Amino acid sequence: MSIGGIGSMDFQAQALELQAERGRVLASNIANADTPNYKARDFNFQQALAAATGGGSAGVAAPVSVAVTQPGHMRAPAGAAGAPALLYRAPLQNSVDGNTVDLDVERANFAENSVRYEATLRFINGQIKTMTTAINGQ
């Protein structure tokens, strides 16, 4: 059970971090629209958010921590557990140079992601203002 909406703020913070990462991926796709043989990348935001928050749903596995029992075992790099799995986007139309970036799709996804990022920021700001008001007793 969360106290004062802290759990909700953690969820919003995870969503904000994933939206920022998705913005970087989509910007990279747009920047490489003219690069021969470049394959457009993206990730499933809902699955990544469920995995990052530990709220596994049907078909989504919760993050698993691996036990290191021997000195020779490799440890996961820092930040690797929360990194979403990048997938290749299926091209809607074949191109001569092998590039799978469709600028219209990428721009639409980037604009949608930007709006969602801004909305998440507003939710977090609203929660902070509400907590500040409650603490100050106004």
- Residue that is written with structure tokens 């802290």 in the block: 6
With residue 40 as reference, give the H or E element that holds it: none
Residue 3: what pLDDT? 53
Residue 9: what pLDDT? 83
Q: What is the mean pLDDT of residues 123-129?
A: 92
Residue 57: what pLDDT? 45
pLDDT tens digits for range 13-57 = 999 999 999 999 999 999 999 999 999 999 999 999 988 888 754
The Cα 112–Cα 118 span in angstroms is: 10
Residue 62: what pLDDT? 43
- Sequence-distant (6+) residues with CB within 8 A of 26 are 42, 106, 109, 110, 113
Tally of helices (H runs) and strands (E runs) in the chain: 3, 2
Residue 18: what pLDDT? 95
CB 49 within 8 A of CB 85: no
pLDDT tens digits for range 81-123 = 557 889 998 888 888 999 999 999 999 999 999 999 999 999 9
